[in-house]
Amino acid sequence: MTPDIWMILAFAGLLIAGVPVAFSLALSGAVGIVLGLSPDMLATLGTNTYNSIAKYPLIAIPLFILTGLIFERAGVALRLVRFAQALIGPRHGGLALVAVLVCMIMGGMSGSGPADAAAVAMVMLPSMTKAGYPKPFSATLIAASASTAILIPPSVALILYSIVVPGVDLRALFAAGLFPGVLAGLALLVPAMLAAKRYGWEGTPVEGAERLTVRGTFREALPALLAPVLILGGLRSGLFTPTEAAVVAVAYGAVVGLFLTRELTLRDVWELLGEAAIISGVVMLIIALAGIFAWAGTMLGTFRHLAEWIIGLTDNGVLLLVLVMLAVLVAGMLLDAISIYLIMMPILIPVMQHFEWNPVWFGILLAMNIAIGQFTPPVAVNLMVTTEVAKIRLEHTLGWALLFVVAMGGALALVAIFPGIALWLPTVLGYNV
């Protein structure tokens, strides 16, 4: 067997053995270097890991992670829920609609599905349970809705995609993800509303909801609602770059938590800095060690060989796109978005270029696939968070998860068939697509 095959087999074997993704990438890359190049080339490991993270746009990732943590601790989710409840009023499926809307708005602050799921589940699950919603349904709906955070800007996954794929404008990606993100949320809402009506959930008003007024709750929720406007408005006006937008988002979140909601203290800020550092450290470790795998795969020609094999499967671009989407969907069930981009994009970039797929549109399709994987067992990172909050077992949610997979899969198919859903807004805004 050739060295590149040994490298791939080593990576698969390490993953099956339960070795963390970051170390699986590094060790399998080292195997490829030793067998295919020279043991002396192991001296490049330090340089490759450093070069992988020595990129200015990556600064935005830990900052947006910190932004999500700050808004979560600042009581923003509760205020958004109260405003949405007052706006929608008591009706069948009303709380399901609230959950989807709040998850989408929170996604416009954190860019992280698990953080979004945790914040909304803590607030929404008790209310939905009192209103008659089964816990497996509620947990799955919130997990699925929180997955839209990977699409709605600012998205950590899209930031990484813009770095991995050369020549892609991050502002165009952010704009392109907005309508597909909304479409995905609406797609989830359809089966949720139908189920609520069929089973008679929320037949009576939620306790305390009648005391909520739109004007009063809007005033409380306004600082949270302005966060996405501030980020996207600043990017559109050219006032700041995406990385600078992350700095502005952190500062704005701190002001909201310390002085407006007053649920954040300086001690909390210090703790959140540590928590964000830990989460960011995990992300950066994956990116850094993936640099070893990427360098070895490039030098050995592994990625080129795999891309040529994929292209040789069929001349039908539509059929191949379907196969790629299915492969990414399976990967999304097992791996996180960052690992998927780092592992698969070196292989998929030549395929994308061969069939002349628009890189912005293709990036959104990948993100939608990964979003579906975030609430699809066996791994389902978002679902793990919400089931932990609900105190139920993951397998109890399988039926509802499959229903929402079909719903979001329909939204994915629409974006694939009609690329304008993703590309219209960045084109109108004058971004390079």
- Of 14-23, 145-154, 352-361, where does the model show the most confidence? 352-361
At position 76, the amino acid (one-letter code) is V
Report long-range pairs for 73-76 (Cβ below 8 Å, ≥24 apart).
73/257, 73/263, 73/264, 73/268, 73/272, 74/253, 74/256, 74/257, 74/261, 74/263, 74/264, 75/257, 75/261, 75/263, 76/106, 76/109, 76/119, 76/223, 76/224, 76/256, 76/261
Question: Do 159 and 67 touch, CB atoms closer than 8 A?
Answer: no
pLDDT, residue 12, reads 87
Model confidence at 395, pLDDT cuts 50, 70, 90, reads: confident
Q: Tokens for 209? A: 């909801």
At residue 203 the predicted structure's pLDDT band, cuts being 50, 70 and 90, is low
Tens of pLDDT, residues 17-26: 888 888 998 9
Q: Is the preceding omega at residue 154 within 30 degrees of 0, hence cis?
A: yes
CB distance 53 to 284 below 8 Å:
yes
Nearest to 137 by CA among 421, 406, 357, 400: 400
More confident residue, 88 or 268: 268
Tokens of 403: 């229903």
Structure confidence at residue 232 (pLDDT): 79
- State the average pLDDT for the chain: 86
This prediction has a pTM of 0.88
| 3-state class (DSSP) for residue 63 | helix
- Cα 77 from chain centroid? 18
Residue pLDDT, tens place only, 287-343: 888 888 888 888 888 888 888 888 888 888 899 999 999 888 888 887 778 888 888
Termini Cα distance of the chain: 41
Rounded Cα gap, residues 277 and 289, in angstroms: 18
Where do the structural domains in the chain lie, given as residue ranges? Answer: 56-285+301-428
Using CA atoms, how far residue 34 sits from 21, 28, 50, 302, 347, in Å, is 20, 10, 20, 15, 22
Amino acid in the structure at residue 171: R
172-187 pLDDT, tens digit each = 999 999 999 999 999 9
CA nearest neighbour of 108 among 169, 44, 30, 175: 175
What mean pLDDT is predicted for residues 117-142? 88
pLDDT digits (tens, 9 = 90+) for 43-85: 888 888 888 888 888 888 888 888 888 887 888 888 888 888 8
Q: If you average pLDDT over residues 24-37, what whole number do you get?
A: 88
Quote the longest CA-to-CA distance of the chain.
Answer: 72
**What is residue 173's predicted lDDT score, i.e. its pLDDT?**
92
What's the rounded Cα separation, in Å, for the pair 203 and 192? 15
